[in-house]
Amino acid sequence: MAAEKIAVIGAGSWGTALTKPIGDLGQMISLWGHRKEHVEELKATRQNKAYLPDYTLPETVTPVSDLKEAVEGHTIVIMVVPSHVFREVFTGLEPCLENDAYVVSASKGIENDSLLTMTQVMEEILASSANFGERNIRTAVLSGPSFAKEVAAGIPTAVTVASQSKDAAIHIQRALSSHLFRVYAATDVIGLELGGALKNIVAIGAGICDGLGYGTNTRAALITRGLAEISRLGVSMGADPLTFSGLGGLGDLVLTCTGDLSRNRMVGLKLGQGKKLETILSEMNMVAEGVKTTRSAWNLAKKVGVEMPILEQVYQVLYQDKPCKDAVRDLLARSLKEEQW
């Protein structure tokens, strides 16, 4: 297909990594960062030393710090900013979007106050626009098992893009797929978003178990029952249960719960080893989305009336200072029952 102008909004590790497969296709890319000094460094060195060292930006990438410059004239806009600033950034760029643009969320989280997913945040902002009826902006979500460092290194990766419009999903799929970055198309937006957001919570739990010195039996049980919890919440909100068996469900969950590059698993690992959450977060220069998502997911589960025991214990560890060993004990001491999904 013809080359497109693609804007990547967020110059952290994942946003920077996405320039690799897109750059391999020869697509023109603007990479937006919120700090001017960071953007100037990207321009001067062609490397993101703070978030993704040892990776050189493709020649087709133009780092920018102005949102209007980043998105004007671009047919595909990929949002790769943390969930807690997603609304602010998208509100700023929304008036500058082309009328036929595709806007893709590659951020994994649930907004704390509204309990909305990132595509729901985009839809809400777009609907409030004065010229909403005159535009044809389509939203989508990109998710799946994909560590930034491995994508940037050109390691074969498969992900999924979902949009309510199948044609939109296919258009984005074709624009982003390369010989090392395979993109599948789907229409289950809510399922793909919840899978990507909630797996980070289970990964914190897996890290806690690893930090406590438990073995692979424990991790396997946690992943399996964690998937059951994610599926229950997802289905209650209209998701296709099969989505959670795919790349954005089981695939992303296994990667994040077992991989050494997982920031959320690392948070849990250090918690299990006895470190305090505040200390752990202060030592990180990147965001572990699962920490904030645990709070919003806990409130969302209460709101829709879905039982999520693993989420409950992770929430108590993070926000009620519950000892990790007590959380595991209480999880295992629940009343015996049939295995259910």
Catalytic site includes residue 322: no
Whether residue 131 has pLDDT greater than 90: no
Tell me, what CATH number does 296's domain have?
1.10.1040.10
Quick check: is 96 in a domain? yes
In a domain, residue 193? The reply is no
| Predicted confidence (pLDDT) per residue in 189-208, tens digit | 999 999 999 999 999 999 99
Are 160 and 217 in the same domain? no
Total number of domains in the chain: 2
Q: Which residues pair with 204 in a beta bridge?
A: none
The pTM is what?
Answer: 0.95
Q: Cβ distance 39 to 63 under 8 Å? A: yes
Q: Which of left, alpha, beta for 82 (phi over 0: left; psi -120 to 50: alpha)? A: beta
Considering 5, 20, 199, 270, which one is annotated as catalytic?
Answer: 199
The amino acid sitting at 250 is L
- The whole-number average pLDDT for the span 293-303 is 97
Helix, strand, or coil (residue 188): coil
Mark whether 209 and 116 lie in a shared domain: no
DSSP string of 285-331? SS--HHHHHHHHHHHHHHHHT---HHHHHHHHHHHS---HHHHHHHH
pLDDT, averaged across the chain: 95
Does one domain contain both 113 and 182? yes
- Each residue's pLDDT tens digit, 199-251: 999 999 999 999 999 999 999 999 999 999 999 999 999 999 999 999 999 99
- How far apart, in Å, are the Cα atoms of 269 and each of 214, 232, 272, 280? 11, 26, 5, 10
Domain ranges, residue 93: 5-187
Q: Which of 70, 58, 62, 72 is nearest to 22 (CA)?
A: 58
Of the given ranges (101-115, 151-165, 173-187, 278-292), which has the lowest mean pLDDT?
278-292
Residue 2's pLDDT band (cuts 50, 70, 90)? low
